[in-house]
């Protein structure tokens, strides 16, 4: 039997949600990841140290007995965020701050309108040696949805990274060749996460033969030339690009809807999907760096000391998952066959 053993991986971008849903999402992620950067887009969002600490506690209560898992918390930046909020967050052990342009994605209505007004806050994040995580899309109505990532680079991100040269910035869930090129050309303080869906799919998988709501996420899938740029960069083994699933569950009826929610729930097959892609690319030797080394290295955290083993074995992703709420969720890549499976310990 062919196996692949790597240092235990971490997920550098995901959405656990809250309440009962934690009993579904936290075990799914703790199945294979030792740590995860937990996004703060709850309702209401996680905007201060106390909310982050309480949210972390709720997540810890959902970690299955015997599992070793550490949530790394983030603060949601708004136009009300102060430098003191950042200092308090740092003191409470919060890892990073998340910049959402208002309206860019699910539950981001409370986010930032004028990014320039936040420059003092970015300076504090830099001084506290925290990281700035960026949802890099403009939200101006006149900008085409497929151009929003590139427009964000040109209008904001270029300026942020050139103003705060010592600030570590993660360009989250990148989807375009423009983003790849920007990160490659930037300093070592700029990195990016890449999701399984943006490596596996392009916009044809969203729109050809009928609308496929379970492939709808934000930033939206782009044309295949952009998908190819993402695949090429992960296959190159560049340490500036690492794993972030953006796993983001929505109930089936909220996605199969005339106004369907954005987000793909990939936690139950995350590491397997990445292994599938790296194998397709003939780059399985690059999986460990992407999944387990470059993330902690960039965050200034130790690499995990345990290992995870994948077995070469075909299996089918379930067509439905029923969380404690009883409302079914269709997982990402439902019904598809994946060629690697996590070895259960």
Per CB under 5 A, residues contacting Zn ion are 39, 105, 135, 246
Nearer to ligand OTD among residue 240 and residue 250 (C-beta): 250
Q: What DSSP assignment string belongs to 174-210?
A: --SHHHHHHHHHS-TTEEEEE-HHHHH--THHHHTTS
Kindly state the smallest distance separating residue 286's Cβ from ligand OTD, in Å: 24
Nearer to ligand OTD among residue 170 and residue 342 (C-beta): 170
Residue 329 sits at φ, ψ, to 5 deg, of -125, 135
Kindly state the smallest distance separating residue 39's Cβ from Zn ion, in Å: 5
- Nearest Cα residue to 37 out of 21, 18, 56: 56
**Of residues 154, 246, 285, 297, which has the active-site annotation?**
246
Nearer to ligand OTD among residue 140 and residue 285 (C-beta): 140
Annotation says 246 is catalytic? yes
Kindly state the smallest distance separating residue 191's Cβ from Zn ion, in Å: 15
End-to-end CA distance of the chain: 16
Contacts of 280 by beta carbon, 8 Å cutoff, 6+ apart: none
Cβ atoms < 10 Å from Cβ of 144 = 7
Per CB under 6 A, the list member of 263, 289, 296, 323 interacting with ligand OTD is 263
179 binds ligand OTD (CB under 6 A): no
How far are the Cα atoms of 34, 262, 297 from residue 31, in angstroms, in the given order?
8, 24, 22
Nearer to Zn ion among residue 81 and residue 175 (C-beta): 175
Question: Directed axis angle between helix 83-91 and helix 119-127, to 10°?
Answer: 30
Secondary structure of residue 132 in the 3-state scheme: strand
Per CB under 6 A, the list member of 4, 9, 15, 62 interacting with ligand OTD is 15
246 binds ligand OTD (CB under 6 A): yes
218 binds ligand OTD (CB under 6 A): yes
Q: Which residues sit at the interface with ligand OTD, rule CB under 6 A?
A: 15, 41, 105-106, 135, 173, 217-218, 246, 248, 262-263
Active site residues: 246
């Amino acid at each position: 039997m062919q196996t692949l053993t790597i240092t235990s991986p971490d997920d550098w971008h995901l959405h656990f949600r809250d309440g009962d849903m934690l009993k579904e999402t936290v075990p799914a992620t703790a199945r294979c990841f030792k740590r995860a950067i937990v996004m703060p887009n709850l309702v209401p969002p996680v905007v201060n140290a106390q909310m982050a600490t309480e949210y972390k506690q709720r997540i810890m209560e959902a970690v299955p007995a015997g599992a070793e898992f550490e949530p790394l918390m983030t603060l949601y930046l708004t136009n009300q965020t102060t430098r003191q909020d950042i200092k308090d967050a740092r003191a409470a052990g919060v890892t990073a701050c998340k910049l959402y342009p208002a309206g860019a994605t699910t539950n981001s209505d409370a986010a930032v309108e004028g990014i320039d007004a936040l420059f003092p806050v970015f300076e504090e994040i830099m001084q506290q040696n925290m990281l700035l995580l960026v949802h890099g899309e403009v939200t101006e109505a006149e900008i085409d949805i497929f151009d929003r990532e590139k427009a964000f680079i040109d209008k904001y991100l270029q300026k942020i990274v050139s103003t705060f040269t010592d600030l570590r910035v993660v360009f989250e869930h990148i989807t375009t060749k423009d983003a790849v090129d920007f990160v490659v050309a930037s300093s070592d303080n700029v990195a990016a996460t890449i999701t399984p869906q943006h490596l596996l799919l392009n916009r044809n998988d969203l729109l050809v033969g009928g609308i496929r709501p379970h492939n709808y996420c934000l930033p939206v899938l782009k044309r295949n030339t952009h998908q190819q740029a993402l695949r090429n960069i992960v296959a190159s083994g560049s340490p500036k690009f690492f794993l972030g699933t953006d796993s983001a569950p929505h109930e089936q009826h909220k996605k199969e809807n005339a106004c369907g929610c954005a987000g793909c729930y990939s936690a139950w097959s995350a590491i397997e999907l990445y292994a599938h892609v790296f194998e397709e690319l003939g780059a399985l030797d690059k999986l460990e760096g992407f999944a387990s080394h470059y993330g902690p290295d960039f965050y200034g955290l130790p690499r995990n000391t345990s290992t995870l083993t994948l077995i070469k074995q075909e299996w089918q992703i379930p067509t439905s998952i029923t969380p404690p709420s009883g409302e079914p969720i269709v997982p990402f890549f439902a019904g598809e066959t994946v060629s690697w499976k996590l070895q259960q310990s």
